[in-house]
Amino acid sequence: MKEVIIYGLFILFLDVLLCSARWAGLLLLGCSSCGGLTELWLFGLMKGVFLHVCASALTDGKLRTVLCRFSALLCLLPPVFETGRILHAPPSEPDSGPSPNLSLLFLGAASSSLACGIWENLLSGDKNKENVKLDTKRILMRVLTYFKPDSLYLIAAFSFLILGVFCDTYIPLCQGKVIDILSGQELQTGFGYAVGQLVLISIGSALFSGMRGGIFMCSLARLNKRLKHLLFHSLLQQEVHFFEENNPGKLSSRLHSDVDRMGRTVALNANATVRSAVKTILMLRVMLGLSWELTLLTCIEMPLLAVMQNKYISLYKELKEQTQECHAQNKDLASQTVSGIRTVRSFRAEKDELRRYDVALDELCAIKRRSGIYSAVHLLIRRMVSLVIKTIMLIQARSLISSGQLSIGSLVSFFLYQKPMSVNLKEIMYCYGETVSTVGVISKVLSYLDRTPKCQKEGDLAPESLEGRIVFQNVTFSYPSSDKPALKSVSLELQPGRITALVGPSGGGKTSCVSLLKRLYEPQEGQILLDGALLHHYKHKYFHQKVALVSQNPELFSGSLRSNIEYGLKDCTIEKVEEVAKKIGAHDFISEMENKYDTDIGERGGKLSEGQKQSVAAIRALIQDPRVIILDEATSKLDVDAEQAVLREVLAHGRTVLVVAHQLRIVEKADHIVFLEDGSVQEEGTHEELIERKGRYHRLKEELFSENP
Ligand SMILES: Nc1ncnc2c1ncn2[C@@H]1O[C@H](COP(=O)(O)OP(=O)(O)OP(=O)(O)O)[C@@H](O)[C@H]1O
């Protein structure tokens, strides 16, 4: 505040200095007056440029904006005041310009300071507005860069837009001419020419507008495709924790509705704003030619509406953001309930879920109600202002017609322009509001587009032969959302041709080891090596092909059984699929299905039993011929024969096998058992060794395997 006052006083001082210099110059040149209106405007503009440059050079940020506004007021108020005075002065009074007196200078300075103070403190509202504006500008410019590949289309669209607007603008003028000819105020001979002109211009308007609309829609569709591709690509690169923080409903909403809205708002609003701006300028020119008095009255409406709109936009923006958040939450709530319908049903929680959904809907309803009230009040005030201005205009039009300064045709033309003129202005303001309110959505989409995944970049190792030896060296790891370490200095080795079993009580850290081995997370300390090289040094695709995971609840996608088995593979033949299926004993049940390997398995494999899902997952993993295979409770739903078959196949070719199991019959088969508790390796050895040692493993054996002997 102190800075604003100091720099404001300095600008005032410069203004006084410049005015004194001008008066001194005029006196020295011996001029009797301060020059005409043109000279006054010229001086005001030059002074404005000078003060603007000084303010920009001395300050920056918000202070610079305030001072630039203040300088503009200081420079424009005297010529505006003088123009008004001359317009209202009797024609006999000479246009001599302001007299060089100090009281006028101080009056100008005081009124500029007062207006600036009121604007900055009462009307401009939010203190961070300038920063927000800068951000808005930066964000919108960024969106425009995505249109670059369509620049030629856009140039064509904007050219048709301008041609269309030209035609649109001259239609009412031609109509006015036709009316004047019909009412006898102009020569009847020109009737055919006037009608022909009107028809030609109307055809041009329709043709150019159609072309403009079509090209814009094509560019918009291409932009949407580009943005969705980029966003989906960026999402697919993110680390697993990102998907834990951002639920699927929210991400899907960003990808679909938000990207659509982003493209639509920017493209359509740019289109509408340019169209309305060009139209407004052309119409203003024609309207001034018809009657400057009525045009002036039309223009008074603008700043009043702008101030109201400004206030309304900030409220509208806030509510729109709240509505979007609420929508995303509701969507998420409903999709969670629907996808977990089995759990909901088995716990008879339908009523609770309905109640939760109702509460969320009430919240959304309350926001929408508030939005409706604001919109109604805004509309009422806006209409009242328009009504008052229109009444004054009608009175003025009556006196102009009676004094012969305006013909009936010109008045009709004027009114034909006036309505679209205010519609144009409203459209510009609406587009501005709409664009500003979409900035929140755009910045969220951009933040996802720009997000750098918090995981190591893939390396380029892809050796032809891989032994499959895994070594965990003092691995310490905490989940990003938790401070408590899930693994504390874990060291273990998985050897080729051997089964290593991870056992331990719930929460011991077994799944965390598996997740690190599959590179779903990165350890904070220590390292994991595959054949002596860090995991991230391998090529992404190669690594996941060589280290396969079969989990207890495999993720299957809707589609055929075969498409699920071949997921991620390019050159997979049906013979190979059948061969693996036969080896693990799954071919029989698949052959009994209606369309065998082409049977549709339903949403997330919903048409398969849990055991069948595990078999499909095992085929999917084995068909890639991995060197390391992780079975995370992967055979828990299989019968004993199927389980044996899977284990036999898994161990073939000297693979490294890591099992996480709660079944004693599996653990007993392991060559090496690692007992994990509280994130640390407590004991390791063969089953017999651990039993003999009578340590933690032995004591917890009953508890660990009680349900699955
Ligand atoms: N996504 C996660 N975010 C934060 N903490 C987690 C997450 N997953 C697991 N944890 C925590 O990490 C610790 C180890 O969990 P982990 O899943 O590795 O245990 P586990 O031995 O596999 O257990 P279980 O046998 O029940 O599957 C636990 O304290 C758990 O609460």
Q: Are residues 178 and 99 in the same domain?
A: no
Mean per-residue pLDDT over the chain, rounded: 82
Q: Whose CA is closest to atom 1 on ligand 1?
A: 479
Question: What per-residue confidence (pLDDT) applies to 291?
Answer: 82
Q: Whose CA is closest to atom 18 on ligand 1?
A: 509
Q: Which atom of ligand 1 is nearest to the CA of 679?
A: 14
Examine residue 467 and state whether it is found in any structural domain, yes or no: no
Q: Which of 123, 158, 193 is the last residue of a domain?
A: 123
Examine residue 469 and state whether it is found in any structural domain, yes or no: no
Look up the domain containing 406 and give its range: 129-449
Most confident stretch, 172-186, 288-302, 433-447, 619-633: 619-633
Q: Are residues 176 and 271 in the same domain?
A: yes
Question: What per-residue confidence (pLDDT) applies to 533?
Answer: 92
Q: Are residues 266 and 286 in the same domain?
A: yes
Examine residue 492 and state whether it is found in any structural domain, yes or no: no
Examine residue 117 and state whether it is found in any structural domain, yes or no: yes
Q: Which atom of ligand 1 is nearest to the CA of 502?
A: 21
More confident residue, 541 or 303: 541
Q: Which atom of ligand 1 is nearest to the CA of 508?
A: 21
For ligand 1, the distance from its centroid to the CA atom of residue 490, given in whole angstroms, is: 15
Q: How far is the C-alpha of 327 from the C-alpha of 307, rounded, in Å?
A: 30
- Angle at the Cα of 302 from the Cα atoms of 299 and 304, rounded to 5 degrees: 125
Q: Whose CA is closest to atom 20 on ligand 1?
A: 507
Residues 6+ apart with CB under 8 A from 19: 105
Which residues, judged by CB distance below 6 Å to any ligand atom, belong to the binding site of ligand 1?
A: 244, 479, 481-482, 486, 504, 506-512
Q: Are residues 182 and 119 in the same domain?
A: no
Examine residue 163 and state whether it is found in any structural domain, yes or no: yes
Examine residue 31 and state whether it is found in any structural domain, yes or no: yes
Q: Are residues 678 and 638 in the same domain?
A: yes
Q: Whose CA is closest to atom 25 on ligand 1?
A: 506
pTM: 0.62
Q: Are residues 149 and 105 in the same domain?
A: no
Q: Are residues 114 and 137 in the same domain?
A: no
With beta carbons less than 8 A apart as the criterion, state whether 259 and 231 touch.
Answer: yes
For ligand 1, the distance from its centroid to the CA atom of residue 487, given in whole angstroms, is: 9
Question: What per-residue confidence (pLDDT) applies to 98?
Answer: 46
Q: What is residue 262's three-state secondary structure? A: helix
Q: Which of 108, 123, 138 is the last residue of a domain?
A: 123
Question: What per-residue confidence (pLDDT) applies to 708?
Answer: 46
Q: Are residues 96 and 173 in the same domain?
A: no
For ligand 1, the distance from its centroid to the CA atom of residue 513, given in whole angstroms, is: 10
For ligand 1, the distance from its centroid to the CA atom of residue 509, given in whole angstroms, is: 6
Residue % of the chain over a pLDDT of 90: 12
Helix 129-145 to helix 259-290 angle (10° resolution) is 100
Residue % of the chain over a pLDDT of 70: 91
Q: Are residues 602 and 697 in the same domain?
A: yes
Q: Are strands 547-551 and 628-632 parallel, antiparallel or unpaired?
A: parallel
**Mean pLDDT for the stretch of residues 222-230:** 91
For ligand 1, the distance from its centroid to the CA atom of residue 633, given in whole angstroms, is: 15
Which among 482, 490, 502, 515 is the best mutation to test ligand 1's pocket, defined by most ligand atoms within 8 Å of the CB? 482
**Complex confidence, ipTM:** 0.97
Examine residue 339 and state whether it is found in any structural domain, yes or no: yes
For ligand 1, the distance from its centroid to the CA atom of residue 242, given in whole angstroms, is: 17
Q: Whose CA is closest to atom 3 on ligand 1?
A: 479
Question: What per-residue confidence (pLDDT) applies to 121?
Answer: 65
Q: Are residues 306 and 191 in the same domain?
A: yes
Q: Are residues 54 and 90 in the same domain?
A: yes
For ligand 1, the distance from its centroid to the CA atom of residue 676, given in whole angstroms, is: 12
**CATH number of the domain that 664 lies in?**
3.40.50.300
CA distances from 631 to 500, 554, 659 (A): 10, 11, 5
Please write the tens of the pLDDT for every residue from 556-577.
Answer: 888 888 888 888 777 778 888 8
For ligand 1, the distance from its centroid to the CA atom of residue 212, given in whole angstroms, is: 58
Q: Whose CA is closest to atom 31 on ligand 1?
A: 507
Q: Whose CA is closest to atom 12 on ligand 1?
A: 486
Q: Whose CA is closest to atom 16 on ligand 1?
A: 509
Which among 245, 246, 475, 479 is the best mutation to test ligand 1's pocket, defined by most ligand atoms within 8 Å of the CB? 479
Please give the tally of structural domains in the chain.
Answer: 3
For ligand 1, the distance from its centroid to the CA atom of residue 143, given in whole angstroms, is: 41
For ligand 1, the distance from its centroid to the CA atom of residue 493, given in whole angstroms, is: 21
Q: How far is the C-alpha of 698 from the C-alpha of 689, rounded, in Å?
A: 10
Q: Which of 123, 155, 179 is the last residue of a domain?
A: 123
709 pLDDT tier (thresholds 50, 70, 90): very low
Q: Are residues 262 and 380 in the same domain?
A: yes
Residues 6+ apart with CB under 8 A from 491: 472, 473, 474, 475, 526, 681
Examine residue 166 and state whether it is found in any structural domain, yes or no: yes
**Mean pLDDT for the stretch of residues 580-595:** 85
Radius of gyration over every alpha carbon of the chain, rounded to an integer in angstroms: 38
Please write the tens of the pLDDT for every residue from 363-376.
Answer: 989 999 998 998 89
Q: Would you call 369 exposed, middle or buried from its count of C-beta atoms within 10 A (0-12, 13-18, 19+)?
A: exposed
More confident residue, 497 or 664: 497
For ligand 1, the distance from its centroid to the CA atom of residue 175, given in whole angstroms, is: 78
More confident residue, 201 or 176: 201
